[in-house]
Amino acid sequence: MTPLSIRAKLTGGYLGVLALATLTLAGGALWLFHESVVRAADDALVARIEGTKHFIEAIQKELPTEELHDEFREFADLTGGDALLEVSDATGRILSQPTVAGWATITSQVSRATDLQVVAVTTHDQPYRAVATELEVGGHRYHVIAALPMGTEYAALERFGWLLAGLVPTVMGLAAVGGFWLSGRALRPVDQMTRDVQEISLRQLHRRIDVPPADDELRRLAETFNDLLSRLEQAFDDMVRFTADASHELRTPVSVAHTTAELALGRPRSDHEYREALTDVLSQTERMSTLVGDLLVLARADAGVETPEADLVDLRQALDDAIKDVQPQVARQGVRLDRQQPDAQWFVGGTHESIRRLALIVLDNAVKYSPVGATVRILVADDDATGGPAIAIEVIDAGPGIPAAERQRVFDRFYRGAGARQSTPDGSGLGLSIAHTIVERLGGSITIDDVPDGPGCRVRVRLPRVA
């Protein structure tokens, strides 16, 4: 079954609400019309009984009981109107009676004069509202029946009902056409947005959807789409730049390895020359392997398929392993490591490999950019000032430092400042980006600032501490 379109759903919902409201209004109007007609008839009958009582009180003072018959007949003729009246005395003598077919069959339960009960009766297919009561005037009792034919009123009610029955479908049909047109008009900007989005390709991510002037849901939808397009454009630009930078970084070692192997095979060479050529090829291969590994880490982080950081890691052990891994570079660079850490066992969330890699990246940069004979300091301490219990790891080098304008960009992939390119031209610019990715995944932070008491820079990593 094909799902209904939004336009059809809006029209259907609109018709459903309108149908409920229209039927309620029509039913209420018909009920009010009926109640008004019945109430008017009942009030007329009550007034007729009251008038009869006053008439009897008036003429009983002037005429003897024997002459009341003629007076009642004249009274009934003069004041009858649509209301019919029958009056009889205590002996059963009828003083006044209408000449209506079937009148003798009209009966009603006798009610007290102070609490008249009007009822609906039917005789000879003619509906009536009737009331019967006993009146006591001047010591004499009278039985009074008043009735009002309702045929005309009920016929009007029936015509009104048929009018409503024909009017409601007509109104609903017109409302369906109008609602379908209005919903289409209301959804026209959405259709335009759809066409605009369909025309946007990877080469046209700079295009944006026109934002409606009214501050409504459509405006918010257009702004949300534009924000999404901006993020997509930024992500696509980052991907293109990332691919170009990765290709550029891989091209150099590949070219060097290819050229070295080609030259070595160009003519017969000695074992020593072949060994030197293979050493160069191995060095470039290791560089490519490291770069590919870094790219894989970042790609897995972007795809959200990295290893879950759900273990408890002994921070001291992870730092020991990172310092052990960086020792060959420390020896080559001719620097010294000074580690200051309280004799305490701290645990952080994550995996041992991610914490070791994070520490190794920071230590590798500090050793790489420090001059010969310099000291790289490693400070580990509690940091519970803000954001809950945490551990702060500070690595302070004696290198040229990082200009303030470049400190945020150093976490971008493949970004290397002028000083870094001049000091170590063989870097890839991925280390700090990977460190930043690891820290974010662990819920921590990483910052870079100047060293207060001399040259160099201080890298500060803050990780939540687990009890």
Residues 293, 334, single domain; the answer is no
- Same domain for 138 and 271, yes or no, is no
pLDDT (tens digit per residue) in 95-131: 777 777 777 777 667 778 778 888 888 887 888 888 8
Structural domain contains residue 192: no
**What is the structure's pLDDT at 33?**
92
Q: For 151-165, what is the mean pLDDT? A: 91
Predicted local distance difference test score (pLDDT) of residue 31 = 93
Residue 259 CB coordination number (10 Å): 13
pLDDT of residue 254 exceeding 70? yes
Q: How confident is the model at residue 29 (pLDDT cuts 50, 70, 90)?
A: very high
**CA nearest neighbour of 120 among 34, 28, 26, 29:** 34
Is 251's pLDDT higher than 70?
Answer: yes
pLDDT at 159: 93
φ, ψ (nearest 5 deg) of residue 447: -135, 160
Could you tell me which of 259, 289, 290, 291 has the C-alpha nearest to residue 277?
259
Is the distance from CB of 364 to CB of 393 less than 8 angstroms?
no
Report whether pLDDT(253) > 80: no
Query: 176 lies in a domain?
Result: no
pLDDT at 92: 79
Average pLDDT over residues 329-352: 85
Same domain, 442 and 368: yes
Write out the DSSP string of 388-427.
Answer: SSEEEEEEE--S----GGGTTGGGSTT---HHHHHH-TT-
φ, ψ of residue 339 to 5 degrees: the values are: -105, 125
Strands (E), 16-125: 84-89, 94-96, 110-111, 119-123
3-state secondary structure of 198: helix
Residues 46 and 80 in one domain: yes
- Whether the predicted pLDDT of 67 surpasses 70: no
Q: Which of 254, 281, 302 is the last residue of a domain?
A: 302
Band (pLDDT 50/70/90 cuts) for residue 34 is very high
The number of distinct structural domains making up the chain is 3
Minimal CA–CA distance to 439: which of 369, 327, 367, 359?
359
Q: Predicted confidence band at 35 (pLDDT cuts at 50, 70, 90)?
A: very high
Is 247 part of any domain?
A: yes
Among 40-54, 65-79, 279-293, which stretch is predicted with the lowest mean pLDDT? 65-79
**What is the arithmetic mean of pLDDT over 154-183?**
89
242 and 280: one domain? yes
In which band, very low, low, confident or very high, does the pLDDT at 36 lie, cut at 50, 70 and 90?
very high
- pLDDT bucket at 387, cuts 50 / 70 / 90: low
Higher pLDDT, 80 or 146: 146
Work out the mean pLDDT of the chain and round it to a whole number.
80
Q: Domain range for residue 152?
A: 6-158
Torsion of CA 245, 247, 249, 250, to 10 degrees: 160
**In this structure, are 286 and 406 located in the same domain?**
no
Given a cut of 70, whether residue 72 has pLDDT beyond it is: no
| Residue 214 binned pLDDT confidence (cut-offs 50, 70, 90) | confident
Is 245 or 178 the better-scoring residue by pLDDT? 178
Cβ–Cβ < 8 Å for 129, 38? yes
CATH number at residue 422: 3.30.565.10
230, two tokens: 């901006």
Pairing mode, strands 140-149 and 119-123: unpaired
Distance, CA of 108 to CA of 263 (rounded, Å):
129
Give the model's pLDDT for residue 64.
60
The first and second tokens of residue 21, run together, are 């409201």
DSSP code string of 137-173:
ETTEEEEEEEEEE-HHHHHHHHHHHHHHHHHHHHHHH
Of 257, 281, 302, the residue at which a domain comes to its end is 302
Distance CA 257, CA 4 (A): 63
User: Between 217-264 and 151-198, two packed helices, what is the crossing angle to 10 degrees?
Assistant: 20
The answer on 84 and 16 residing in a single domain is yes
CA distance 56 to 68: 9
Q: Are residues 235 and 337 in the same domain?
A: no
User: Please, what's the b/e burial string for 189-228 (b: 16 or more CB within 10 A of its CB; e: otherwise)?
Assistant: beeebeeeeeebeeeebeebbebbeeeeebeebbeebeee
The verdict on residue 320 lying in a domain is yes
Burial class (CB in 10 A: 0-12, 13-18, 19+), 251: exposed
Residue 216 has pLDDT above 60, yes or no: yes
Please check the confidence at residue 268 and state whether its pLDDT lies above 90.
Answer: no
Angstrom CA distances, 85 to 58, 130, 132, 361, 450, stand at 18, 10, 10, 113, 113
Whether 441 has a pLDDT exceeding 60, the answer reads: yes
| Six-digit token string for 445 | 């932070």
Helix (H, G, I), strand (E, B) or coil at 238: helix
Q: Are 463 and 409 in contact (CB under 8 A)?
A: no
Same domain, 319 and 393: yes
d(CA 221, CA 227): 10
Tell me how far apart the alpha carbons of residues 440 and 300 are, in angstroms, rounded to a whole number. Answer: 14
Quick one: pLDDT band at residue 77, thresholds 50, 70, 90? Answer: low
Question: Cα-flanking dihedrals φ and ψ of residue 169, to 5°?
Answer: -60, -35
Interatomic CA distance for residues 171 and 86, integer angstroms: 48
Residue 214 tokens read as: 């009214």
Read off the CATH number of the domain in which 115 is found.
3.30.450.20
457 and 354 within one domain = yes
